């Protein structure tokens, strides 16, 4: 039986095939942002007091519409102003309502905050899309890739000056991690096959993660107390989207959240 993840990846293959015909890599290399010097997601997380990666996301397969009709330029400057460590911006359109142009707009409205190209990355072409959009880091999801594919994509990302965030969901996927080409190790609390979220996944797996890895917990985080607890367990960062995006003013929601986290640390 196919899963939501299977459907997303199948659709992504079709999307990429069409995009490669429309916009060759040579044209992406001519985009203004392609030659910019990138910011380090890894260093930003290591130097942050809270490690919040705030996400721009309009919808998701699990929640449906979250905040339709809103643009990155209305949100990401406030995310930066109120102290996020990085911004994540969805590039997938069909399932998450994002686009390449959203990432470009996000980069135009950020000064020095690292920007994550949040996408189901399965083809090297997408690395060039990420670089051309002004992103500083890319996401590689172990559940979408074979180990050798993950390594090849991460190494090519490094050549382009992009940080790699490797996302795992279980201890079985830890074999994908190699500090020589992975900059940040993420634990997704959401099972991408059924899109169910359980914060206990991060709590259970953290003791088995490499001690020196820069580690983040992703999905299902909605309380400052959860961030404080996970930080004490060893996580450096926390990727949060829906919790802020469901609010009328996501930027102010981030400010309030960070203020409350700092009170607990």
| Closest to 173 measured CA to CA, from 138, 141, 206, 203 | 141
With contact defined as beta carbons under 8 Å apart, do 76 and 6 qualify? no
DSSP 8-state class, residue 40: P
| Closest to 44 measured CA to CA, from 205, 224, 165, 210 | 165
Give dist(CA 207, CA 210) in Å, integer.
8
Mean pLDDT of the region 170-179 = 95
Query: What is the pTM for the complete model shown?
Result: 0.96
Instruction: Classify burial at 28, counting beta carbons within 10 Å of its beta carbon; exposed 0-12, middle 13-18, buried 19 or more.
Output: buried
Reported as a single tens digit per residue, the pLDDT across 20-70 is 999 999 999 999 999 999 999 999 999 999 999 999 999 988 889 999 999
Reported as a single tens digit per residue, the pLDDT across 206-257 is 999 999 999 999 999 999 999 999 999 999 999 998 999 999 999 999 999 9
Backbone angles phi and psi of 98, in degrees to 5: -100, -175
Cα 88 to the chain's mean position, in Å? 5
From the candidate CATH numbers 1.10.3720.10, 3.20.20.70, 3.90.226.30, 3.30.2180.10, the one assigned to the domain spanning 4-264: 3.20.20.70
> Which residues, listed in sequence order, are joined to residue 140 by a DSSP beta bridge?
166
């Amino acid at each position: 039986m196919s899963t939501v993840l299977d459907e997303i990846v199948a659709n992504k293959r079709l999307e990429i095939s069409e995009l490669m015909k429309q916009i060759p890599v040579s044209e992406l290399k001519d985009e203004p942002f392609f030659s910019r010097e990138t910011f380090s997601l890894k260093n930003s997380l290591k130097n942050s007091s809270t490690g919040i990666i705030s996400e721009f996301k309009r919808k998701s397969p699990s929640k449906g519409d979250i905040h339709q009709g809103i643009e990155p330029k209305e949100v990401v400057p406030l995310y930066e102003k109120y102290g996020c460590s990085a911004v994540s911006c969805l590039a997938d359109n069909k399932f998450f309502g994002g686009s390449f142009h959203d990432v470009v707009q996000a980069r135009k409205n950020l000064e020095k905050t690292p920007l994550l190209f949040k996408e189901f990355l399965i083809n090297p072409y997408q690395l060039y899309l990420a670089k051309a959009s002004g992103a500083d880091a890319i996401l590689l999801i172990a559940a979408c890739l074979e180990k050798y594919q993950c390594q090849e994509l991460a190494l090519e990302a490094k050549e382009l000056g992009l940080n790699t965030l490797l996302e795992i969901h279980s201890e079985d996927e830890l074999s994908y991690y190699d500090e020589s080409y992975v900059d940040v190790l993420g634990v997704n609390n959401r099972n991408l096959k059924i899109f169910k979220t359980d914060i206990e996944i991060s709590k259970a797996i953290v003791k088995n993660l490499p001690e020196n890895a820069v580690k983040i917990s992703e999905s299902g985080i909605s309380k400052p107390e959860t961030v404080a607890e996970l930080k004490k367990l060893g996580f450096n960062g926390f990727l949060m989207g829906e919790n802020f995006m469901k609010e009328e003013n996501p930027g102010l929601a981030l400010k309030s959240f960070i203020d409350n986290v700092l009170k607990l640390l």
